[in-house]
Amino acid sequence: MPRRPFTNRRELEEHSFHPAVLLAVPLCALFLNAYLPRIWQPLSILDLPLIIVLYFSIAWRNPIAGTLFGTVIGLLQDLPGNQFIGVNGIAKSVLGYAAASIGLKVDVENMVTRVAMNFVFCLLQSALLYLIQSILLGQAEAHPRWIHELIRAAINSAVAIPIFLLLDRTRMDTVL
């Protein structure tokens, strides 16, 4: 098979996953996100679907795939909740696109970079959810507690570290 002499960074570093991983991991994250707070209320601070959207979007380095994946996960996250369907879909689609786009430009294999991106994107999601609820839906009672959001971002970033390490083991890397 002839080798192409020139490839771009995205083609060299795109990661693929087994279809079972692409189905089981998001469904598990959605299930845990819906039912863990019922077992113990403080676990509602976790946003496992966001961590999964960020991981796969960064790994794929494809903005379209990141957007679609974020949209699907966000819409599925809205189903068991008591909010309007589409709120998380909008926010996670924007975050999936942004994470995949940044993954094209920045070395995202470094764990410090991953944790920093997770922290920033968690705060960005909080801001997006606030804007969607206050501007698009006109809910005047939607007021973010920014200290709580900073703590939430820090906890989600800490939880993302072992999840990222486990998901790194599921990659099926191909050599060009």
Could you read off the pLDDT tens digit of each residue along the chain, which spans 176 residues? Answer: 455 544 455 454 668 899 999 999 999 999 999 999 999 999 999 999 999 999 999 999 999 999 999 999 999 999 987 788 999 999 999 999 999 999 988 888 889 999 999 999 999 999 999 999 888 888 877 777 889 999 999 999 999 999 999 999 999 865 44
Q: Which of left, alpha, beta for 86 (phi over 0: left; psi -120 to 50: alpha)?
A: left
Q: Which of left, alpha, beta for 173 (phi over 0: left; psi -120 to 50: alpha)?
A: beta
| Stated pTM of the model | 0.89
Helix (H) or strand (E) holding 54: helix 48-60
Structural domains in the chain?
16-169 (1.10.1760)
Q: Rounded to the nearest 5°, which phi and psi values hold at 17?
A: -135, 155
Place of tokens 């494809």: 62
Place of tokens 């470094």: 110
